[in-house]
């Protein structure tokens, strides 16, 4: 008997023997994930903070070095008396940006800048100096002093609304339509009827967005669709457009007709989505795209592996959608282990998602590019 | 999605069952496969083969404990891939290391003439394990069934590495005695 035979024989063990150990392994696996996440987050934070401090220090260093510290001036003497700034001599002074004041010219060398001590000392040490030129624009640099994540928040502010979503989708897909598989002749009779924006039945939103569509005029800033949206009938929506060419109502009509519901796609939400509060979240966007794809029989193809995310749970209304959209590369995570499921998605992110989604749709042949 | 629902999907021949399994258990299954295989490519191959096997086995089988069922299939599949890949040089996986440990209680030379019955041996091992305390049994299973590294086991149960090693040594010795008593030539 060989050891390998014994190992193989063990393979015949009943599940009841294996289950408890397997459960323990699963538990360990779950515990480990957050730990790994923390380590990654800390490492990433340390690097970003160091870089930001470095960059901030570069810009801040200019006025400070000559004025505040005599020691610094001593240091600049050999280089340049006045406008210092650009040259090498500044770099070392700036680098320790974290501890610019306490450090004289020589001490600044302490490279560990990139490590932790800076993060704590830096903000306090530099801020006082900033208070003076406050009226100007020291703000952009401030985020650099704050620990870690904040840099993402400013992007989030410009979320997208319902109307913007439709316009964005229309733009991304260029007004694509379903291939005329069935009776191309049957389309004309259907088009005139595209009824009101809400007639697609399954969508609960249609009722709502019909109104806001009019109320929110220039949604997406960069107007594009000056050419009348070939949504059949620009019908009631045209007045909503602020003359920009973006016609939310018409775009919505096109969207509903193109991705008309067949069924709820498994998430329990219609493709129109629920009432979407102004800033649409990543999960909401994913659900919409997921339902839209499934409604026309397209499963978003996986191009990457799923990962563990601290804000993702199974069995939620968004689970399937976020899972599939992420694996298809349509949506991206905020960081290695944070999806940003409930966080507003920025306009640029949403546009990127729409573009990827459009590429998949057109590639799959489920939709044919419009004119 | 809970396990019973996933099993229902398999029974309904719904391919999303595989997706659900992958989503919920891929990390766990990869860990098992990685204990045997060192190449990430082999691990991926092993997992896709394992998913395929699971698909073919449910139904008719209906696992009582899905993770254990999946773990078992993955483990067997990993060993198959390992065997297929094994060249003359050793891969150096935990699987090999754990086999070395088991060798202590078995004759080192191959004895093909002793055509042993794997099923009977498995039953004997099951009897032996059945008599062990829960935790000790888990340690044995994790080491010799899932090929978990000793350090991982120690961390998992809040033990020192040497304590786990000692426990494993006792387990092997006990198994040897038990098998000998049962009439196996060890």
Domain boundaries, chain B: 3-85, 94-181
Residue B144 with chain A: CB contacts under 8 Å: 7, 10
Higher pLDDT, A302 or A1: A302
Average pLDDT, chain B: 83
d(CA B71, CA A158): 46
Element housing A199 (H / E)? none
pLDDT of residue A331: 92
pLDDT of residue B106: 62
Same fold for the pair B3-85 and B94-181: no
pLDDT of residue B126: 87
**DSSP one-letter code for A323:** H
CATH number of B94-181: 1.10.10.10
pLDDT of residue A371: 53
A323 in contact with B at a CB cutoff of 8 Å? yes
Residue % of chain B over a pLDDT of 90: 13
Neighbours of A177 (CB within 10 A): 18
Q: By the 8 A CB rule, do A177 and A370 touch?
A: yes
d(CA A152, CA A161): 19
Whether the per-residue pLDDT at A100 is higher than 80: the answer is: no
Residue B95 with chain A: CB contacts under 8 Å: 7
Angle, vertex CA B65, rays to CA B62 and CA B71, nearest 5: 100
Whether the per-residue pLDDT at B47 is higher than 80: the answer is: yes
A16 in contact with B at a CB cutoff of 8 Å? yes
Q: State which fold the B3-85 domain adopts.
A: Rna Polymerase Sigma Factor; Chain: A (1.10.1740)
Interface ipTM > 0.85:
no
pLDDT of residue B139: 92
pLDDT of residue A43: 86
pLDDT of residue B90: 54
Residue B148 with chain A: CB contacts under 8 Å: 25
Average pLDDT, chain A: 62
d(CA A149, CA A155): 12
Domain ranges across chain A:
15-148, 156-364
Q: What is the pLDDT of residues A164-223, one digit of tens each?
A: 888 888 888 887 777 765 554 444 444 444 444 444 433 434 333 443 333 333 333 333
pLDDT of residue A248: 82
B48 in contact with A at a CB cutoff of 8 Å? no
pLDDT of residue A353: 92
């Amino acid at each position: 008997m060989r050891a390998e035979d014994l190992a193989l024989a063990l393979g015949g063990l009943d599940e009841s023997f294996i289950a408890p150990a397997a459960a323990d392994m699963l538990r360990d696996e779950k515990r480990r994930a957050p730990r790994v996440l923390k380590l990654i987050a800390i490492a990433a934070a340390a690097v970003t903070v160091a870089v930001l401090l470095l960059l901030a220090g570069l810009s801040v260093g200019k006025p400070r070095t000559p004025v505040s510290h005599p020691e610094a001036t001593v240091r600049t003497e050999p280089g340049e008396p006045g406008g210092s700034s650009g040259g090498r001599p500044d770099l070392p002074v700036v680098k320790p940006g974290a501890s610019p004041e306490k450090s004289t010219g020589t001490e600044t060398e302490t490279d560990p800048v990139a490590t932790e001590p800076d993060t704590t000392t830096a903000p306090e040490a530099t801020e006082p100096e900033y208070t003076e030129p406050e009226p100007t624009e020291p703000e952009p640099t401030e985020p650099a002093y704050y620990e870690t994540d904040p840099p993402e928040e400013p992007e989030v502010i410009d979320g997208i609304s319902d109307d913007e979503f439709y316009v964005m989708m229309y733009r991304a897909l260029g007004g694509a339509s379903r291939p005329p598989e069935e009776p191309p002749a049957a389309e004309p009779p259907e088009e005139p009827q595209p009824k009101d924006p809400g007639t697609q039945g399954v969508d609960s939103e249609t009722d709502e967005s019909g109104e806001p569509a009019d109320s929110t005029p220039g949604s997406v800033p960069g107007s594009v669709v000056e050419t009348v949206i070939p949504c059949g009938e620009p019908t009631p929506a045209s007045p909503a457009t602020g003359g920009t060419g973006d016609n939310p109502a018409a775009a919505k009509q096109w969207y509903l007709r193109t991705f008309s519901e067949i069924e709820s796609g498994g998430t329990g939400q219609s493709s129109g989505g629920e009432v979407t509060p102004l800033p649409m979240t990543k999960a909401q966007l994913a659900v919409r795209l997921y339902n839209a794809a499934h409604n026309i029989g397209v499963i978003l193809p996986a191009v990457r592996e799923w990962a563990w995310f601290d804000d993702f749970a199974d069995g939620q209304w968004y689970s399937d959608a976020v899972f599939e959209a992420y694996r298809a590369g349509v949506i991206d995570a905020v960081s290695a282990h944070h999806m940003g499921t409930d966080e507003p998605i920025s306009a640029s992110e949403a546009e990127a998602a729409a573009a990827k989604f459009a590429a998949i749709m057109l590639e799959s042949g489920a939709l044919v590019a419009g004119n | 999605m809970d396990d019973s629902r996933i099993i229902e999907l398999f029974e309904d021949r719904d391919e999303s069952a595989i997706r659900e399994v992958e989503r919920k258990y891929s990390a766990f299954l990869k860990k098992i496969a990685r204990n045997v295989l060192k190449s990430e490519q082999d691990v991926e191959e092993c997992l896709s083969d394992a998913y395929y096997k699971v698909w073919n086995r449910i139904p008719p089988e209906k696992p009582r404990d899905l993770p254990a069922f999946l773990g078992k299939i993955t483990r067997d599949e990993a060993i198959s891939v390992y065997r297929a890949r094994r060249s003359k040089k050793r891969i150096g996986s935990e699987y090999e290391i754990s086999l070395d440990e088991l060798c202590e209680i078995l004759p080192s030379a191959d004895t093909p003439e002793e055509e042993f019955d794997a099923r009977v041996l498995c039953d004997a091992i099951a009897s032996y394990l059945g008599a062990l305390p829960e935790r000790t049994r888990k340690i044995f299973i994790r080491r010799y069934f899932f090929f978990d590294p000793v350090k991982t086991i120690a961390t998992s149960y809040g033990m020192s590495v040497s304590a786990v090693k000692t426990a494993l040594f006792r387990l092997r010795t006990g198994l040897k005695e038990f098998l000998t008593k049962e009439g196996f030539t060890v």
